[in-house]
Each structure stands twice: as structure tokens, then as C-alpha cells.
Structure 1
Amino acid sequence: MASSDGPKYVYKIVPSSAPIPESLPARLPISDLDQQSGFIHLSTALQVPNTLKFFFKDEPCVYMLRIGYEKVQENIRWESPDAKVCGPRGGEGMFPHLYNGHKLGKDEIESVATWKNEDGWDRALENAASWLVY
């Protein structure tokens, strides 16, 4: 159940080229994109499918990090995507961006799942229907 101020969870998608250790550290390494942006890019459950299809279409596998929204809420800014990379993404609205000095680790991450790209992300999304909370 979502809080009155936001979703229950937000999600970070990490390519398999940046492996996630079994025992989560206090702070995971941050992607070049997040470093350049000055924040950690996150998605809501509704935004995950298109984020996968636009930005991770060639990845064979990704790690999905499920983050309890209440744990990061004070450092989230809801911002509009500029649509320069993939064009308008109707119905997705504002994206959650985490501004906390790039800290994302065991204190923020509730669970990690590994999703495989099998001729597109549709099968992974179907298999994760109960894990991806809308």
C-alpha cells in the first residue's frame, strides 16, 4: 500500500555489467549517468517497463533494486524527463530522482531481483508481476 505522499516503492535499474554483491554494502557504486546528473535516477513501477525498453533494450540482464519510498522520501524530487533521449513517454508523469549525495545501499534497498532480457523485457515483467508493486 502506498503512502499518501507517494508510492510504496521506487526502483533503480542497474545493468548486469555493474554486478550487485549478495551482501549489500552501505553504498553501492554509482553509474556515470547518475554522477553526471548529480542525483540517482529512479522509476516508479509504472515507469519501469518503458525505462527498460528505452534505456536497457540491449542489456542481457539487469538488477532491479526495490527501495522503500518512505526510506528515501525526504531526498526525492519529482522531476519531468526532458524527452531528448526517447521522446515523450505518455502517462508516466514525473520521475523520482534521489538527491542524497549518491547514497544507495543496504539501508535503502529492500530487495534485489535479477531480470533476464529474453527477446525483450515483456517476459521478465510478466514473471515479476507480484514483485513489481504498482
Structure 2
Amino acid sequence: MATTGDAKPTYIYKLIPSSAPPPDHPLPAVLPVSELDQSSGFIHLSTSRQVPNTLKFFFADELRVHVLRLAYDPLEEKKLIRWEDPKAEVCGPRGGEGMFPHLYNGLKLGKDEVDSVATWERRDGEGWEDVTGREQSWLIY
């Protein structure tokens, strides 16, 4: 396993823009997959330490995001996670963030994989770093 140089994570995270349908409660067996995930053939995920820059580079125009928290161990035990280097074609080099977790399971993400869901919203004048600072108790490595 290759991560950001730290011990294995407890959780990994999927960020969903507010323009996508919100995850329903209870979660369905399979949630809709983003165009990026579909074209990549896997689901892009982040560790808790990678979430702030993922928000900064890919969700800068969003005021609200849905954050899905996935327990790492069950996915790793099934050999569904691959740690891969970002190609940096979209946002340029992301120094110090290391390898990113990607979920390879036929693009299935739903109630069996998701531990918890949060909706984060930026207040007037806030950046995503302010929101992730507020959410530290939920954003667990």
C-alpha cells in the first residue's frame, strides 16, 4: 500500500458537487457516478489530508459539497483500492500529497461502501480550508 507516507487511513473520502443529486437517505445500493469517474474507469477518492486541496482544485466554484466517508479496511481487504499517482493534467502538480486512493469495483458506490455522509457549505467569504478546519472531528485519517 502506498499512501501519503503515513500509516493506512481509517477512512477515505468521495467528494460530490452540489450540482449532482444529493445522496438520499437511506443510501441506495448504487449512487450516480461522475463523468470523470466514468471516463477514468474508477472512482476518485482522497484521504482526509488530501480533501482540502481536492476541494480547492476541483470544487472552487461550489458553495456546497456532499462528502462520503468510506471505511478503508473493508475495501482494502477486498483488494478494491489502488494507490496511484495523480497525472496532474488538470490542476498541475500537487506536491506533498503522494498517492491517491482509487476505487476499482465496477464504478459501484453506495450503501455497502459508504459509512457516513456530510454536506459541507461555505459561508460568505470562506474558503474550503475554513470548512475543512470546522469539520476536523468528522474528517478522520
TM-score by length of 2: 0.88
Q: Which moved further from structure 2: 38-47 or 15-24?
A: 15-24
Is 1:133 paired with 2:140? yes
Q: Which residue of 2 aligns with 1:31?
A: 34
Distance, in Å, in 1 between the alignment partners of 2:103 and 2:134 is 27
CA RMSD of aligned residues (A): 1.4
Q: Which residue of 1 aligns with 2:105?
A: 100
Q: Which residue of 2 aligns with 1:112?
A: 117
Q: Tell me, which stretches of 5 or more residues in structure 1 are unaligned?
A: none
The offset of 1:130, in angstroms, is 0.5
Give SS of 2:140's match. Answer: coil
Distance, in Å, in 1 between the alignment partners of 2:19 and 2:93 is 28
Would you say how many aligned residue pairs link Structure 1 and Structure 2? Answer: 131
Is 1:87 paired with 2:89? no
Is 1:44 paired with 2:51? no
Give SS of 1:26's match. Answer: coil
The offset of 1:35, in angstroms, is 0.4
The offset of 1:5, in angstroms, is 7.1
Q: Tell me, which stretches of 5 or more residues in structure 2 are unaligned?
A: 1-5
- 2:24 alignment partner, one of 21, 42, 52: 21
Q: Aligned pair in 2 of structure 1 residues 5, 27: CA closer, same or farther (>3 Å)?
A: farther
Q: Which residue of 1 aligns with 2:73?
A: 70
**Counterpart amino acid of 2:102?**
H
Distance, in Å, in 2 between the alignment partners of 1:81 and 1:51 is 11
Among all aligned residue pairs of Structure 1 and Structure 2, give the percentage whose two residues are the same amino acid. 63
